Structures are given as C-alpha cells and as structure tokens.
Amino acid sequence: MLRPRILPAATLLHLMLCLAPVAANADLAVLVGNKSEASVDLLDLDTGKRRARFPTGDVPHEITVSPDRRWAVVTNYGPRDRPGNTLTVIDWVAGAVARTVDLGENGGPHGIAFLPNARTLIVTTEANGTLTEVDVVDGRVLRTIDVGGQRPHMLVLSPDARHAYVTRTQAGAVTVVDLRAGRVVADIPTGAGAEGISITPDGRELWISNAQADTVSVIDTEALAVVATVPTEGFPIRTRITPDGRHVLVLNAKAATIRVFDRAERQALHTIALAKPGVVYGETIFGIGPLPIGIQISPDGQRAIAAISGGDEVAVIDTETWAIVQRWPTGREPDGMSFLPGMM
C-alpha cells in the first residue's frame, strides 16, 4: 500500500504560486516585514494564517514584488545608529531566499520600486542621500543617482517608468528624477517631514504626506507644482490611492487613524480608528502605543491592510464600508507590506 507523500513547505509554496491565476486582481497573499525580528511573513488573505516566514537583514522596511511575480525584494534598513546596506531577494519559484545584495557604500535602503523589466529596481539609500539602481538577478549595483541628500525616503515611479518621484524628509520636498538621464529635473517643496507618496493610476497626481506639518500635498505631475494642500492630524506618514483613483487613504501614525479622502473633491469622508480600546501596546519609536505605519490596498481595491507596529498585528479594512473586519497577528513590529502578486 502506497503512503501519501508529504511535500516540503517550499515545494507547496512553489506549486501554489504556479497554479495561481495571473490576473491583476488575483490576490494570493500579503507579505509583511517584521522590523524587530528580521523576517518577512507570507499571510493568507482569507484567514490571515502564516504560510511561510523568510529571514531578512536587520530592520526590514519596505517590500516590493516584481511584475512577473518571480522576485520579492526587502530593504534591510538597519538601526538608525548603524544603517544597513543590503537587500534580501526572495525567489518565489524556489520558495526561498535567493540572495542578499550588498549595496556597498549605499546605506539605509528604504523606498523601493521595480522597473518594468522585472529584474532591475530603484531604491532610496538614505545614508548617502542617493537613489541606487540594482540588478536583483545578478545581485549587483548598476549606478547611483545623487538626489541632494536630506534623507530620500519613499518613492513612486511614473506609469512609463521614465521618472521617479522621491520624498526627501529633511528637505520637506519631492524630488523628480529623470531615470534615463540619471539626474534631478525638479525639486518641489511640500511641507515639513515629507514622507509618504502615492501616484494616481493615470500618473497625473501625487499625494504626499507631510508628517511634521500635519498636511497632505497634491502635486500636478505635468505642472510639477503643488495644486492643493489638505489638512490632516496626527503625523501623516503614508498615503495610498485606490486602484480606481477615487479615494486616498492617509495613515496618521501618532493618532493611529486612517483618513479617507475623496480624491477629486479633496475632502475627508471617513476616519478609521486603528487602536483597540483597553489594549496595552508595545514600545515603538514614539513611545508606547499602536503606531500604525505600513499600509497597502489590494489590487482589486476591495480591502486595505494597515500594519500596527506597537500591536504586532495588521488590521484588514473593507473599502466599501471602511470598517475593520479582521485583525491578524504578525511578528514583532510589522511595517512594510506588499501583495503577491505585486500588481499595484
């Protein structure tokens, strides 16, 4: 009598990914980086159950997935007194970490985005104030672009990947980089502590959260100018735009809220409280509290997920009712996230 064969976890993950539908809204799972555990979890989108855990470098921050779903890449930011200088590359075919990319002198990697070729990416490297272009397949640095220092933090690409838009936190500005020419073409002042940045699906608007100013700036990408400034409260640290372009979610870290805006009208519609009453939260960089930081919206637009660093959990939000419908446990201090496939 033949006994059933038990497949190893990596093989199961490989089969699961290969059999998954490839449509842009085929949400398979969400990747969550655990800053204080040097790891990334793969969470099931239906149950929140952890399917896999992958080791990373110190203080993993942002995560991106290649357009072909082959690679997931994690920025290993490192502690503030000792900036990291590596990227962790996860191979989804093998279901394992493929390599660690050494960025050399380009320290403090943070914001990250793949180029359309699915093997090259751009990452902000805060320690030396640059953008760094990396080939994740060969595991080598291709070039660096000086963006003027002052803590280049998060970035997004234009739909044609011609330009990178980079928040520079200490400058309170967004810097526009022509990636073909490898040079800065504009600096746009926004507000103190510019951090989060999102681009509309048509590429015509940027929404930037100015954490220290308690404002959000709207930039017209053709005029390269701020066309509106929207107030919010509680240290706005990230922004996300729904796939249909109708709503903007602004995550306020100290207030532990998400403010939902009508993008066209630039008016607040809802405020979502992320903290649970009566819960004792852990220590964060701003003291004891929930401190939500990371936020993502699923490619089908049906849910948003917020990482609550001080609570070691993520909150799942229904984007029709704007209510929290689930909370899932994570590792210590979740922050950066990405959906798999990463068709954002």
Q: How confident is the model at residue 28 (pLDDT cuts 50, 70, 90)?
A: confident
- Domain region containing 263: 26-269
Residue 339 within any structural domain of the chain: no
Residue 230 within any structural domain of the chain: yes
Q: 282-288: long-range contacts at Cβ-Cβ below 8 A with a sequence spacing of 24 or more?
A: 282/310, 282/311, 282/312, 282/332, 282/333, 283/310, 284/309, 284/310, 284/333, 286/235, 286/253, 286/254
pLDDT tens by residue, 90-121: 998 899 999 999 999 999 999 999 999 999 99
Residue 302 within any structural domain of the chain: no
Residue 263 within any structural domain of the chain: yes
Residue 327 within any structural domain of the chain: no
How many structural domains comprise the chain?
1
pLDDT tens by residue, 145-177: 999 989 999 999 999 999 999 999 999 999 999
Q: From its phi and psi, is residue 322 left (phi > 0), alpha (psi between -120 and 50) or beta?
A: left
Q: The pTM is what?
A: 0.91
Span 133-144, mean pLDDT? 97
| CATH code of the domain covering residue 151 | 2.130.10.10
- The mean predicted confidence, pLDDT, of the chain is 91
Residue 17 within any structural domain of the chain: no
pLDDT tens by residue, 275-305: 998 888 888 777 788 999 999 999 999 999 9
Residue 344 within any structural domain of the chain: no
Residue 71 within any structural domain of the chain: yes
pLDDT tens by residue, 35-57: 999 999 999 988 999 999 999 99
Name the DSSP letter for residue 105. Answer: T
